[in-house]
Amino acid sequence: MKQIDKLKEAIKDLYLSVAKLRSAFKERPFTPDGRLVGDIGEAIAALKFAVILDSKIKKHWDGYWVDSNKKEHKVQVRATQQEEKGSTYLKEPPHDGTFLVFKITPDGEYETVFNGSIMRVWNKIKNQRSKEKTISLKDIRKLNREIDAEKIKANRHL
Q: Where are the domains of the chain?
A: 3-156
Q: Note the pLDDT tens digit of each residue in 96-154.
A: 999 999 999 888 899 999 999 999 999 999 999 987 899 999 999 999 999 878 877 76
Class of the 3-156 domain? alpha beta
Task: Give the tens place of pLDDT for each residue, 32-67.
Answer: 777 788 888 899 999 999 999 988 877 789 999 999
pTM listed for this prediction: 0.82
Q: How many Cβ atoms are within 10 Å of 135's Cβ, its own excluded?
A: 21
pLDDT band at 157 (very low <50, low <70, confident <90, very high): low
Instruction: Tell which wins on pLDDT, 76 or 32.
Output: 76
**What per-residue confidence (pLDDT) applies to 149?**
80
Q: Name the burial class of residue 29, with classes exposed (0-12), middle (13-18) and buried (19+) by CB atoms within 10 angstroms of its CB.
A: exposed
Note the pLDDT of residue 94: 87
Exposed/middle/buried for residue 22 (C-beta within 10 Å: 0-12, 13-18, 19+) = middle
pLDDT at 14 over 70: yes
Q: Of 27, 8, 6, nearest to 104 (Cα)?
A: 8
- Band of residue 78 on the pLDDT scale cut at 50, 70, 90: very high
Give the lowest-confidence range in 20-34, 64-78, 127-141: 20-34
> According to DSSP H, which parts of 94-133 are helical?
118-125
